[in-house]
Structure 1
């Protein structure tokens, strides 16, 4: 019997899964970690806490399933992207990690405005504090007692975990994560020394970039396993979900509903420069060949539901939102634009603030909850529109994954507004599963074609009258227009 351990280190916590020799998930364990938010609204994570959550979740899933530890063949890693870490060569954090949502580096990004076109042309990414380049520059400027440059490590969470899991023997990242840093040249497939100089980031502080199915090193998970096993995949979580969805061909598209959302279209070997507010990145590198993607990132999707629960206290659990949205007054046209930390794709406005638009005296709890769910759908639709324009490809089906896909109202609404079939993965843990699948394929445990042929999906098809759909789109666009004035 052989098993693959898939680790998904995400924004809210870490999940670990085990897949058996047939690719079926046989166990899952989750460990949360803190969201450290200061009075300025900066969002941070504790790197040591993240590492310990990885070890703890791996231990939990092994113990719960009762498998023989010797049967674990390999480890695959997916990670929250853009969250930026700094540590020393001894594997000690030098500062808290700057989370992808955090816009504290916006002044640095604004200072580089003159280089915006140059940066986007090389990296495929619009200049923004969302990406690690500005975050790394901020950490270098604001970390006390920095050691010499030769002792500093900068990277995304995958490279931090690989460093620690291999006891500092390997310091690597993969193409998908590198392409999201705003420091990586999509055309030469190397760190851009020119862009690094613009941000004052020494290239020697960055990890080695490898194929996503490379051997990233050997680990015993801090003594959990009796023998070291290979870490044989690493991908950003959205890329791992794209792989896990089976979107391996040009024109296939998926959206991950997480804290935020990544809408991603595989464009194959075509590196398409966006003209409509999207990012161009690498899907992955596998066996020496890279695939590109068009992507739109949204800061607040699942986090909008958390806002309803924790801040407004309108719900006690996310599961309440479906019934509340269905019970809302159908005549109410309230729109929520959740620009709590600016608007990301396809608008890219760091100064935008959140807004409830179109309320009347009868707007109440249910109507606000429905507006919150609809805001997820409408943000995603804006990205899909941009993708159609950039790629010239006709989207036939939208793959969907993540916890919020269990909300039937949300998924039907997405199908209605997008006028697409929405296909829900039969497994919620797509990022962890994608990482596990790629690792399993890499060590020869799985055959790719057989693995994906057995997958089942639930599908939603459009039902909303076109007139109602047009009202929804018109109200959203009007609200955004007012917000961006």
Structure 2
């Protein structure tokens, strides 16, 4: 008889890997597994994944976590929780579960021209009012439209289902019995009314997405069916909670009140803070639904950066044979970038600029420039982009009293110190890498009535600002000038 305490199996399905974490009711991690997920770019601006490979990564990561926990069988798994990449979308057949094309990743910008040509100003205003978001190719609706336009011939329209990655995984976990999506994930589609808390018929019309192909949205803790035929957990195990990955990190950090914020350093980056009430829709940092618990919404301001970890990977490909750790170490060998600046607008710029036509700029090089200076410029570009969002957030909500950081890049001391210097805020780096998974697990235990003893992740280190305010202002002004260079248009204008 297995006397170990029951655990929640928390699956964090991200852009480049899937993690599975077994977590007991106190937040203790009993086992961790991971599996890579491939990303391809068949054309410039196209970012694709394979839906079946994503599902296989969930099974592989789960098997690894169970093995790491010492051969835990299905009995101790009290529930499953999901944290998922958000704006990426999948299409599949309801009758067979067969994917109907590639997963279009959140970074995919193939629909940017469609958005510019087919969504007029009146519709853009409607989107902002109902969703808090801007019309942009990053979000799901134009991608969903693209998938629907490319359904293979011969597939009956009533057999088509589409959705974000959470809905695809719920479908697979439940053996095709449930077509459900979580409200926070739905709020990233441009189709979900964040005050009405449901799909918006006017927005469905804007993007030409029929209601019947979409999953039914549910509260984050409302339950998403039970597992069927998965093989790694007992049939009937409830899927207790679902959160979008950035939202799950916010919840996992314990940042549940205004004035508390987190920054996640992944392939892209997210800066998110809860707000007491929905702000006006004029901010360049959008509003999102962080989570919906007990039918009560919690809203947040969130700025999304398109290229952060991806920037480091790009620079590592040039300078350190693709080794990001070596790149960061190289950057740490110099005190600053030596006047070099990199604006990594490889697919345009996200928040707060929202300029898909911006182009990447590497400038300020001289004969004295070394590879270390270029590496340092890549690191600084991540910190500057985060600071751009923090500046707008604080102008909207007031100063942030808590600023927590998670993600793989937080291991880079140079980056974290730059972040503290450029924001003028103490940066608290947590002691765990699986904050999104822990956030989903915490919500699942909460739904089971068991999260009372849960504590936020321990802060591993605090980095305080070392620069004076004038030095910070000079660096930020120089960065702003380089961003304007990246946004320059022929004819002497920038957007």
TM bin (shorter chain): over 0.9
Match of 1:386 in 2: 392
> 456, 481, 489: which one pairs with 1:478?
481
The structure-2 alpha-carbon separation of the partners of 1:452 and 1:146, relative to structure 1 and needing over 3 Å to count, comes to farther
Secondary structure of 2:299's partner? Answer: strand
> 344, 358, 362: which one pairs with 2:350?
344
> 3, 17, 21: which one pairs with 2:21?
17
> 85, 98, 101: which one pairs with 2:107?
101
What is the CA distance between 1:329 and its match in structure 2? 5.9
Is residue 426–residue 455 contact of structure 1 (8 Å, CA) maintained in 2?
A: yes
After superposing the two structures, state which structure 1 stretch, 44-53 or 83-92, moved more.
83-92
1:439-470 superposed Cα distances (whole Å, 9 cap, x missing partner)? 112113321xx202674442111112333322
> 21, 36, 41: which one pairs with 2:40?
36
1:30-58 superposed Cα distances (whole Å, 9 cap, x missing partner)? 11121121133411010011011101110
**Structure 2: how far apart are the matches of 1:221 and 1:16?**
18
**Structure 1: how far apart are the matches of 2:76 and 2:442?**
16
**Structure 2: how far apart are the matches of 1:441 and 1:341?**
39
**Structure 1: how far apart are the matches of 2:435 and 2:321?**
27
Is residue 73–residue 233 contact of structure 2 (8 Å, CA) maintained in 1?
A: no
What is the CA distance between 1:313 and its match in structure 2? 4.1
Structure 2 residue 53 is matched with structure 1 residue 45 = no
**Structure 2: how far apart are the matches of 1:164 and 1:342?**
34
Is residue 320–residue 327 contact of structure 2 (8 Å, CA) maintained in 1?
A: no
Structure 2 residue 413 is matched with structure 1 residue 408 = yes
What is the CA distance between 1:238 and its match in structure 2? 0.2
> 204, 208, 220: which one pairs with 1:200?
208
**Structure 2: how far apart are the matches of 1:416 and 1:396?**
15
> 256, 268, 279: which one pairs with 1:272?
279
Match of 1:288 in 2: 295
> 317, 321, 325: which one pairs with 2:323?
317
What is the CA distance between 1:220 and its match in structure 2? 4.9
**Structure 1: how far apart are the matches of 2:471 and 2:258?**
32
The structure-2 alpha-carbon separation of the partners of 1:280 and 1:85, relative to structure 1 and needing over 3 Å to count, comes to same
Structure 2 residue 427 is matched with structure 1 residue 422 = yes
Q: Between Structure 1 and Structure 2, how many residues are aligned?
A: 480
Match of 2:403 in 1: 398
**Structure 1: how far apart are the matches of 2:446 and 2:229?**
21
Match of 2:491 in 1: none
* TM-score computed with the length of structure 2 as normaliser: 0.94
1:412-444 superposed Cα distances (whole Å, 9 cap, x missing partner)? 110111010111122111111111111112113
Is residue 186–residue 192 contact of structure 2 (8 Å, CA) maintained in 1?
A: yes
**Structure 2: how far apart are the matches of 1:98 and 1:291?**
28
After superposing the two structures, state which structure 1 stretch, 72-81 or 248-257, moved more.
248-257
Match of 1:85 in 2: 90
Aligned positions of 1:79-478 closer than 5 A: 79-90=84-95, 91-110=97-116, 111-114=118-121, 115-145=123-153, 147-220=155-228, 222-268=230-276, 270-310=277-317, 312-328=318-334, 330=336, 332-391=338-397, 393-447=398-452, 450-452=453-455, 455-478=458-481
What is the CA distance between 1:152 and its match in structure 2? 1.4
* TM-score computed with the length of structure 1 as normaliser: 0.96
Is residue 264–residue 271 contact of structure 2 (8 Å, CA) maintained in 1?
A: yes
**Structure 2: how far apart are the matches of 1:39 and 1:316?**
21
**Structure 1: how far apart are the matches of 2:262 and 2:234?**
38
Structure 1, unaligned stretches of length 5 or more? Answer: none
Secondary structure of 2:75's partner? Answer: helix
**Structure 2: how far apart are the matches of 1:146 and 1:23?**
49
**Structure 1: how far apart are the matches of 2:270 and 2:427?**
15
RMSD: 1.6
Is residue 22–residue 65 contact of structure 2 (8 Å, CA) maintained in 1?
A: yes
Secondary structure of 2:450's partner? Answer: coil
**Structure 1: how far apart are the matches of 2:451 and 2:424?**
35
Secondary structure of 2:238's partner? Answer: strand
1:345-398 superposed Cα distances (whole Å, 9 cap, x missing partner)? 00011111111122212112101110001000000111011112222x221221
Is residue 342–residue 378 contact of structure 2 (8 Å, CA) maintained in 1?
A: yes
1:121-174 superposed Cα distances (whole Å, 9 cap, x missing partner)? 111111111110111111112232263332211110000000011011111111
What is the CA distance between 1:409 and its match in structure 2? 1.0
1:227-251 superposed Cα distances (whole Å, 9 cap, x missing partner)? 4311111111000000000011123
1:277-317 superposed Cα distances (whole Å, 9 cap, x missing partner)? 1111101001111100111000101111111223x143552
